[in-house]
Structure 1
């Protein structure tokens, strides 16, 4: 649902906001499904557990209480590595989607083109997640799949960092955004499964929820860092950015830093992450 929302926003935002004065209208439209979903989740869910256990291990669940599980997670080396690396990846993808238009407009690319690239990023990501999910479901190679995908997404981020600094590279930008999404989002469902595998018998809600908390914190830090690294440049006639009195922003350093961080996290994850499949062993 989260990637689908990003996809819709990437497609609709350029059409809803032809000028800056239309931003409140866009926010109002986007608030409608958010408020509706919040109301449905608050008022429509009354059961603590589903009527049918989702897995064999859940039939005789012995998950730990929340605070006990939280303490166990903070002492679980494999889980901490996964939370930091995968949480950073989610934060990076969030920043990428949010800042894509600003990164591309300085080189003369339109808002519509940025929205199209954001949509390609998400659609190819959903396709990658679907295909890799099918593969892992058959082979159970969770760790190998995430490590390979993480490395390939890091390479795609490097390609984007280089390509986005040149003008008239629409096709290459579309390809790099597609590859970045395809390999990056492919990790998403598998990493969630890995979080449960390496933290079992701690409850799934605790193990996956803490990763999302980490991703939001890392995303905020990354957003602030990337924006702080931008450099003011003189106005360029080919730029499509909304120029203020101080000039446009150059994103060369931020995108290189983003690619470097993605590569660093991929290397760290490949080298140091190892775990047993605890839940699978409990079910067999």
Structure 2
């Protein structure tokens, strides 16, 4: 009987990719930072009614909150994709977007603790959408660059799994910081129309998320490592007059990377 061809999972390339994935401090740091950014965007975009309604922000401007985050996010992705491709400065742009996103969440936390600060609520949500989505976009691109020629699907899947993990952590924080307050003490609230004596206060939630993001921004400043391996390979390929037909070819990528390193 003819021999059964060996499985791709037994090939050397998958073990090399596994070593890159498991033993890359640069990738691990980026997974954590990306998880914080994605989790915060996901969480604050979905649960804005919980932390805004107590001081009366939702009633008149509810359609604008989601609109600002969505449109701001699209604008941020488009704008920073052009800037990053033009200047090739991933590290500085990533840090700047993450820091401004963190600051916008802190501004949101300050505004929701007060009444009649609608302008700052709208401003912070718009900034949060622009720089939050830009951070997510740049984070994916930078992680793929760092561990090239590892498969992009594995890297992207790990990043988004980290994001949903931090989303769950933020949900857990929501139930830690909540407190019951007397309804009649909040005349501006739009959480309930009546029939209850107590309501749950989540107004400190953006402040807590902002604090976590500020810690993440400090870690980025100290520990973030960025490698542009794909760009380096393509640059060397041009110098060596090698045509890179497919960056997904594991044999070519592995041989080419070893030839450059040597």
Between Structure 1 and Structure 2, whose CA radius of gyration is higher?
2
TM-score (norm 2): 0.79
Per-residue displacement from partner, 1:227-252 (whole Å, max 9, x unpaired)? 32111111033211036746222223
1:113 equivalent to 2:64? Answer: no
Deviation (angstroms), 1:165: 1.1
The residue aligned with 2:157 is: 209
**What secondary structure sits across from 2:169 in the alignment?**
helix
Aligned pairs, number? 222
What do you get for the CA RMSD once the two structures are aligned? 2.0
Give the Cα–Cα distance (whole angstroms) in 2 for the partners of residues 181 and 249 of structure 1.
26
The reply on whether 1:239 has 2:196 as its aligned counterpart is no
For residues 66 and 60 of structure 2, the distance between their equivalents in structure 1, rounded to whole angstroms, comes to 10
CA deviation profile, 1:164-207 (whole Å, cap 9, x unmatched): 11112212211111011111111122111101111111100001
Map 1:30-49 → 2, pairs under 5 A: none
CA contact (8 A) 2:21 2:147 kept: yes
Counterparts of 2:35 and 2:195, CA distance in 1: 34
- Name stretches of at least 5 consecutive residues in structure 2 with no aligned partner: 1-10, 236-262
* TM-score for the superposition, normalised by structure 1: 0.73
1:269 equivalent in structure 2: 220
**Structure 1 position 258, deviation (Å):** 0.6
CA distance in 2, matches of 1:110, 1:267: 32
In 2 relative to 1, CA 205–111 (structure 1 residues): closer, same or farther, beyond 3 Å?
Answer: farther
**Using the alignment, how far apart are the partners of 1:269 and 1:246 within structure 2?**
45
Map of 1:260 onto structure 2: 211
Report the equivalent of 2:257. none
Judged with a 3 Å threshold, the aligned counterparts in structure 2 of structure 1 residues 78 and 240 are, in CA distance, closer, same or farther, namely same
Q: Is the 8 A contact 1:69 1:206 kept in 2?
A: no
> 2:89, 2:195 → 1: CA distance?
51
**Which whole-Å CA distance do the structure 1 matches of 2:12 and 2:113 have between them?**
50
Corresponding residue number in structure 1 for 2:92 = 144
Aligned pairs (5 A) from 1:81-230: 81-111=29-59, 113-230=61-178
Aligned 8 A contact 1:163 1:173 in 2? yes
**Contact 1:107-1:238 within 8 A present in 2 as well:** yes
Other-structure match for 1:74: 22
How far apart, CA to CA, are the structure 2 residues paired with 1:190 and 1:63? 30
